[in-house]
Every structure is written in structure tokens, then in C-alpha cells.
Chain A
């Protein structure tokens, strides 16, 4: 498309928060993950306390905050992470040849001499969370007997309860995808971050490309593509039928107006009015399949309305949008993304074709989508289709082979394993995601 010369997008790559910016709050080492918009009025509930998010405005991403008790109640105060001494200490714990073991420890709940009332009293007197943790340790009959490793664990557990930490994170496709995958994987069709990364690479998404997407995962895919476009080129979110698929997740990204302007919608009907190079003839069962699309759509749209929007009812727990945090105080209006594609743009796509296609439609038979969408793709353009199940992709691949419309076809399944790396204690993490789904990738060829 015609390109205007823009500067580096200052909002997208900002390193410091501002009033109205969207953030990811990681509470107690990802025990809780909350998306929030920072305004002077927005509040976050940590433990049983409501804290204003005002102190987070103007802080660098990566900052850590702790709940402190002030005269006007609890507030979030910035803490500077461990100094080098702490690291030394931590290293020592990890290195020291441990002599103790836990044979002498009896779990009878009598080890702690401080009562709940004692702690409340300390709080009333203005003790900080860390002071309470220290007191708990001092009053624990068993702490000294514990191994260094379990002492550390004990301390961490108490810290989480009495001195919770809030880490300020940038909402990027990496962190957004991981947060959803961790807390609500069904809402993003179990699309793991490595799988999402592969889709973006395999379909050659880059600034200035025109990317056609079917995004039935709440806008995660659309947002991830828009992030890579950086305000150049377009991501066109298409739908079958008239009602567009929700894309609320797009609002979690900090997109400038220019980036938002590059996120557009167009229905399949809009796109295929004067299609270039059809291959309808290979599909003799057009009518039967159209029926299937309808029924599939019903399935998926009912899923989306129930599951996808980050409603305020769910908001209290984990993933919250700005709506719940600052109902009355929307200083910075969420940017508008997803306008209908202009006639001019549609015409341009018809003449030139899209440069990439990505489909993430967990509940729809991919072949039903691909047979209509592939003709909209420029010759030699790559595509990538995600599905949770292997079989529909296998069938789709087979049909594409028969139709002679795409080559370089491959079905891949990513496998991701995380490791704990510690001195003498390195091993794969106990938890891993068993399935990141499957991808069918390929390249469209010219009609011969």
C-alpha cells in the first residue's frame, strides 16, 4: 500500500508508563495477572486491600511495588529489587552443601506463636508487611530447624501473604498470550505463545504487509499482527456472515492511533465480490459445505459471547480490563480499532491480493475457510492455519494438494519445554503444556 513516512512509534515501544496506558500487573510471581489501565482513579485489590494505581504512573516498566500501610490506608510503594548482597546470600543458599534435613519437623500447626490478633495489632500500629514476616519468622518454633531451602520457601509464602508484590509489565503479545494461556486458555483457543510466534513467522508478517486474518480468539491474533506491522500495512480481520468476531484483546495492547487505524474489518462478502482467480470448481460440494459453515458459526459465536469478553464479573479475579478498574474515569479513551475497511482499500486488495493469511478459528473446519480465503491471497504469499486438532488440518492439507493451489504444505506441532536452572538442581520444569496445537503452513501458487 502507499506508505507514509512515519517515525518509530513512541507509544508502542515506550519504556515508562503514562496516564491512561494499559499495563499488565503481575502479582506475587504470576499468582495473579491483571490487565489494567492506569488512571488516577483506578484501583487494584491486593490481598484484602484496595490500592490506588496512581503511584504506578510515570514509572518504568519492570518496576516492583509492595503494599505499605500509610496514614490514609494501604498504598503501593516502589521497591528497588535485591542488591548484590542479596544475590550473594541467595547464591550461598543454593551453593551451600546442606547439612540439615527435615526429619525433626512435625506439622501440627503449633509451630507459630503469633496469633491472628497479634498480627492485626501489629498492622494497626503501622508495621510494614516485611516487619510482619520477620516477626512470624522470629516466632516460629520450627524455622531454625528447617533446611535453608525450606526456610526460603516459608519466607516467600509469608511474603506473598503479608507483603504482596506487584510487578509492572508491558502488555506485549508475549505477555498477553502467556497471561491468557495461564489463566484462561480456552478464551484464546489454547494458542500457546510459541505457536502464535510460529504463525507470525510462517506467514511472513512484517511492516508494510497486508495480512488477512480469521481471529476467533478474541483479538489476540489481530493484536499480535498489528504489533508486528507497527502502523504500516494492514491487518484485515474477516468474518463469515455479518457479525464480526469480538476483538477486545486488541485494547490491551498500547497501540497508537496509527496502529489502530491499520486494524480493519471486512466480511468475506466484501472481500470476494470480484475475486481474482477462483478455484471453486475443485469443490463439488459447495452447498453442503456452506451449510456447515453456518452451523459452525453458531457454535463459535455462542462460545465467543459467553467466554471471550473480559466481563466485569470475571474481572474481580484475574484478567481485568479498564472497564472494571475505572468505570467513571476514562481520561484516555481506548483507541478505536477495527473500522470497516474502506472501499478503496478493498479495491486495492482485490487487485493485488493479501500478502499473508493466518487463520485461528478453533471451532471451525479450516477447509471451509481456506477454500474461500486462499484465492484472496497474492501468488507466492505464505499462509498459516492453527487448529487444536490434527485431523481437520490433515484433511485440509490433502484438499489443498488435490486442488493444486498451494505448495510447500506442512503440518507442524510445536513442543515447548521450560527448564529450572539452578546450581546442581537443573531439570525440566515439572509442569509443561502438553499441546500447543498444530499448524498447517504453505504457499499459494499462481493459477496455471
Chain B
């Protein structure tokens, strides 16, 4: 998944090979991760797709089924992976993830501690950010989850950058061997305040911590325990609103009558839509956007804090 290996990096000439992980794209809300294997095939509502047809095509190609249906084959990225991974827990999504990476000031070479690993949605983006010289140490007390996460990191090709360990982080804190070595720490735990004293020990001076919690009561308690060793304590909520775009065909003959779905009063001639670059002509139409009907209303609060500089 990461462009660290020039052999695997996407390009005009990089073709799909046996063993590659591809994201099979049907629609933006319907994708699936598949490992390419000559002898297998993929079956979905569009028919049967033979993997052998995919090999040798560039990533980003449209491929057809026995019935003429089609899908696109995309190279995996952490963003696509978040959309296709198997949910073993609640996961973080792109809005929270992207903000966390910037706010934690993660750059290549950083050492990042994370708990819990959960489904590894965030971990994959953390790995991209620290690669190729940094490392993510992620901990979950659930053995099965840790094992599945390890398999996933193997599959997505980030395993050289991520170490998964089984540990009760709330009970035991992070391992002492990381004391003073972490550039940033991320917590997605039910009682993060129990881990904050340990996190303070692990961070380098001026290092940043983030705690993600769905409930405000958790935030309240975390903030109280942060006061001791941290400064610059800030809590955010971030959401994404998506827009639907559609074209309204405006029929000139109907004038201002339009009340039918798909047709709006025709005002196009007088008020060309700015920036559209579309010429005005007989069959003029306008492109319009509106917020999508359903949206995620809340994920969690992100609390950031910086280790106080006392030395």
C-alpha cells in the first residue's frame, strides 16, 4: 500500500500482478478488498470476474464480468482500506483520522504509540505518516483482535512499520521501554484517563497526545487528568458533510412552468452559473449540489494535549 517499494508504486506502467491487493470498486459506497490469485474469481451482482483477466492490466482499469458487468480495480490506500476493512470494532473515519495525523505532528521517522488497535483503521494511516523510517506500536488487550489486525497489516503491506502487542493498557500502562521515546500517542480507550499518567511518561518533551472518546463525560474526566502534566489542552469535534451533484436539464420550451422533477425554472440565459465554463445554448442545463440526505452526526470528541515542558 505504501509507495516505499518502488517496485510496487503505482504508475502508468505498473500492472496488476499475482498476489496484489486490489480494491474492487463498484460505487463509492460499495467496494471490496481482494487478493489477486490466478485461479480464483470474484462473483457479485454483475456476474463472475476472473482474476486471470485482471493480471497485466494497469491499476485503475475497468474490467468486465462474464455477463458484461464491470468494476474498477484500484490500488489500495489507507482511505480506501478504511472503507473496506472488516469491522471488528467501531472504527475511525477519514475526517477524524486526517485531523489526528496533522494535529499529532506526525512526520516520517516518528515513533507513535496507539491503544486500542481495534480494527486498525487509524493504524494504517499512522503507518503511512511515519513511513519509512518511523514506527507505530499499537496495543490491544483483545488477543483475537490483535491477531486479526496483524494479519490485516500483513495484507496491506504495512507490517514492517507496525508492531501489534497484546496488553491491558489501562491496567498496565505502556511498556517502560518506550519511556521518553514517543513523539505522539493516540488513545481510543473506554477510560483513557487511567492511561494518561503513563502516556505522559512515554512522550518526548513537547510531544502531543490525542484521546478519542464518543462521550462528553469521558472527555471531562480525561481533561481533568491531563491538567497535571499537559498544556495546550483542546477538544474538537469534526464532521464531514457530503454533497450530491446533479444536472438539471432545463427545457426552454417550457419556460418558467417547470415544477416537474428534473426541471427548474429556466433562468440560465440571464444568470450563467459562475465558473461552470459551460456555454449557453438551447439545451442548457445547470449543475447543482445539495447536502446528501444521510450523514454521520457524531463520531467522537478529539482531545489533544501537549506534554508540559519542565526541563
Contact = CB atoms under 8 A, between A and B. Distances in A.
A379 B58 contact: yes
Contacts of A9: 107-109
Nearest to B22: A380
Contacts of B220: 421, 423, 426
A194 B11 contact: no
Contacts of B234: 418
Contacts of A124: none
B88 to A, nearest CB: 22
A230 interface: yes
B236 A417 contact: yes
A277 B3 CA distance: 23
Nearest to A404: B62
Interface in A1-43: 1-3, 6-9, 12-13, 15
Given A390-B243, A410-B28, A443-B60, A421 B131 contact: no
B170 to A, nearest CB: 21
Categorize the interface residue count of chain A. Answer: 35 or more
Interface in A404-431: 407-419, 421-423, 426
Contacts of B278: 395
Interface stretch (B138-146, B221-229, B253-261): B221-229
A285 interface: yes
Contact of B279 (A285, A355, A368): A285
Contacts of A408: 25, 28, 74
A130 interface: no
**Residue among B75, B78, B206, B309 facing the most chain A CB atoms (10 A cut-off):** B309
A103 B138 CA distance: 55
Given A170-B206, A394-B289, A415 B240 contact: yes
A445 to B, nearest CB: 5
A200 B102 contact: yes
A80 B134 CA distance: 31
Given A378-B10, A394-B243, A206 B274 contact: no
A250 interface: no
A82 to B, nearest CB: 8
Nearest to A444: B60
Interface stretch (A55-63, A104-112, A145-153, A308-316): A55-63
A8 B105 CA distance: 15
Contacts of B287: 391, 394-395, 397-398
Interface in B47-62: 57-62
Interface in A163-207: 170, 172-174, 193-194, 196-198, 200-202, 204, 206-207
B245 A276 contact: no
Contacts of A391: 273-276, 287, 289
A299 to B, nearest CB: 12
B277 A367 contact: yes
Contacts of B242: 410-413
A209 interface: yes
Contact of B107 (A2, A198, A227, A277): A227
Contact of A378 (B12, B134, B303, B311): B12
A91 interface: yes
Contacts of B236: 416-419
Contacts of B238: 194, 414-417
Nearest to B311: A60
A391 B74 CA distance: 28
A62 B309 contact: yes
Contacts of B247: 398
B213 to A, nearest CB: 11
B129 A206 contact: yes
A353 to B, nearest CB: 5
Nearest to A381: B10
B8 to A, nearest CB: 10
Contact of B102 (A196, A353, A418): A196
B306 interface: yes
B241 A174 contact: no
B306 to A, nearest CB: 6
Given A12-B107, A411-B289, A198 B94 contact: yes
Interface string A72-116: 000000001100100100110000000000000000000000000
B219 interface: yes
Contacts of A289: 277
Contacts of B219: 419, 421, 426
Interface of B: 2-4, 6, 9-14, 25, 28, 57-62, 72-75, 77-79, 94-95, 97-99, 101-103, 105, 107-110, 125, 128-129, 131-134, 183, 204-206, 216, 219-220, 223-224, 227-228, 231, 233-243, 245, 247, 273-279, 287-289, 301, 303, 306-311
22 contacts: A8-B134, A60-B206, A60-B311, A174-B102, A193-B103, A194-B102, A197-B98, A198-B99, A200-B102, A206-B129, A208-B3, A208-B9, A228-B129, A288-B277, A355-B3, A378-B14, A379-B59, A390-B243, A409-B28, A415-B240, A418-B235, A446-B61
Nearest 3 pairs of A and B residues by beta carbon: A230-B108, A379-B60, A62-B309
Given A355-B3, A446-B58, 7 more contacts: A15-B205, A81-B310, A196-B102, A198-B240, A391-B289, A393-B289, A422-B223
